[in-house]
Amino acid sequence: MERVLITGGSGFLGHHLTSRLRSSGFQAHAPSHQEMDLLNVESVEVALAKIKPDIVIHTAAVYGGIGLCSSEPQRLYDVNAQMHENLFAAMVKHPPRRVVGIGSSCAYPGDRTDTLLEGDYEQGALHPSVAGYAATKRLLLEKLRASQLPFQFPILSNLYGPHDSFDPERSHVVAALIRRFVHAERNNLQEVMCWGTGRPERECLFVRDAADGIVRLIQDGIPGPTNLGTGEGITIAKIAQTIAEIAGYKGEVRWNPEQPDGALRKVLNIERLKAALGWQPQISLKIGLQETMAWYKGNCADEEQ
């Protein structure tokens, strides 16, 4: 049974990934912050020496929505870069057989509007709205290459699902919209104001599908960068409309163009993944949104009224 260490195992993706690994026969270890502090290299060394992982999956990250990414790019870069530095320094002393770094579609060039191929990942400037955080994802890929360890680098599209962060500072587009429309419906608000124009196109990947895809990649051993998503784009306006319908909200939806849109389009080409594994996501957007909203209502919504 292969031993796997998951950094950020108590986080959004890490929570689902740990569960999926265990159900697939891996011995998955998800150390808490007290057990492995990624900002302390000695702490990381101790955890690696204790667990002796065959595979390290690096999911840990400090991140936020477009507001936080725009307002604190340097802090996001500094903290995430330091976590990368400490992990890779510790792995020099305690090397696993393989490393899996989690990439993000936000690190593709910010001006591209075509469907994105893996070879495009580092071929252009980052979008200014996410530059600090996205730069650390490119840095992670650089460190994976420099480590000379066998590595995999799944590049994920926008994740959503149960256990997501619905904090206004940290939430991504789907979680932020769910929070907003549930609140509006419960409080009989006449209108909901959303950020930007609603025109940008995004690709939404249910978190359990993401976890399943990552585990399938690990089992197959496909090396290097691999896009992992749905391959289908949808405008933010359409996402908002669908969430409003699921929430039962009947009021007006308005858009504030003074707030940032971010990149115009982020949609991944997933042909490499499909050809290699015959894999594609199983959860439709509507079903995923329904489950996510139900989880939010049962776990978070009462605290935010």
Q: Within a domain: residue 273?
A: no
| Helix ranges restricted to H, 4-163 | 12-23, 41-51, 66-71, 73-93, 131-147
Over residues 23-36, the mean pLDDT reads 96
Instruction: Identify whether residues 94 and 215 lie together within a single domain.
Output: yes
Has residue 169 got a pLDDT over 80? no
The pLDDT, as a whole number, for residue 16 is 97
Q: Within a domain: residue 291?
A: yes
Q: Within a domain: residue 294?
A: yes
Q: Which two tokens stand for residue 58?
A: 């690096």
- The closest alpha carbon to 280, from 290, 289, 270, belongs to 270
Instruction: Identify whether residues 23 and 151 lie together within a single domain.
Output: yes
The pLDDT, as a whole number, for residue 304 is 52
Model confidence band, residue 302 (pLDDT cutoffs 50, 70, 90): low
Instruction: Identify whether residues 189 and 149 lie together within a single domain.
Output: no
The pLDDT, as a whole number, for residue 28 is 97
Instruction: Identify whether residues 111 and 210 lie together within a single domain.
Output: yes
| Domain count of the fold of the chain | 2
Instruction: Identify whether residues 128 and 216 lie together within a single domain.
Output: yes
Q: Within a domain: residue 271?
A: no
Instruction: Identify whether residues 147 and 208 lie together within a single domain.
Output: yes
Has residue 301 got a pLDDT over 90? no
Instruction: Identify whether residues 39 and 126 lie together within a single domain.
Output: yes
CATH of the domain at 26: 3.40.50.720
Three-state SS at 93: helix
Q: Within a domain: residue 179?
A: yes
Structural domain for 90, as ranges: 3-160+203-228
Mean pLDDT for the chain?
A: 94
Of the residues 108, 133, 160, 296, only one is catalytic, namely 133
**Percentage above 70 pLDDT, the chain:** 98
Instruction: Identify whether residues 141 and 154 lie together within a single domain.
Output: yes
Convert 20-42 into a string of H (helix), E (strand) and C (coil): HHHHCCCEEECCCCCCCCCCCHH
Instruction: Identify whether residues 65 and 212 lie together within a single domain.
Output: yes
Model pLDDT for residues 229-258, shown as the tens digit of each residue: 999 999 999 999 999 999 999 999 999 999
The domain boundary residue, chosen from 211, 228, 245: 228
Q: Within a domain: residue 165?
A: no
The pLDDT, as a whole number, for residue 267 is 96
The pLDDT, as a whole number, for residue 303 is 53
Instruction: Identify whether residues 108 and 180 lie together within a single domain.
Output: no
Integer Cα distance of 71 and 132 in angstroms: 10
Measured CA to CA in angstroms, residue 109 lies from 114, 152, 200, 296 at distances of 11, 21, 15, 32
Instruction: Identify whether residues 9 and 95 lie together within a single domain.
Output: yes
CATH of the domain at 194: 3.90.25.10
Model pLDDT for residues 50-91, shown as the tens digit of each residue: 999 999 999 999 887 777 777 888 998 999 999 999 999 999
Model pLDDT for residues 181-206, shown as the tens digit of each residue: 999 999 999 999 999 999 999 999 99
Q: Look at 62-66, 126-130, 158-162, 281-285 and tell me which has the smallest mean pLDDT.
A: 62-66
Residue 133 designated active-site: yes
Q: Within a domain: residue 221?
A: yes
Instruction: Identify whether residues 193 and 73 lie together within a single domain.
Output: no
Model pLDDT for residues 90-119, shown as the tens digit of each residue: 999 999 999 999 999 999 999 999 999 999
Q: Within a domain: residue 274?
A: no
- First vs last Cα of the chain: how many Å apart? 46
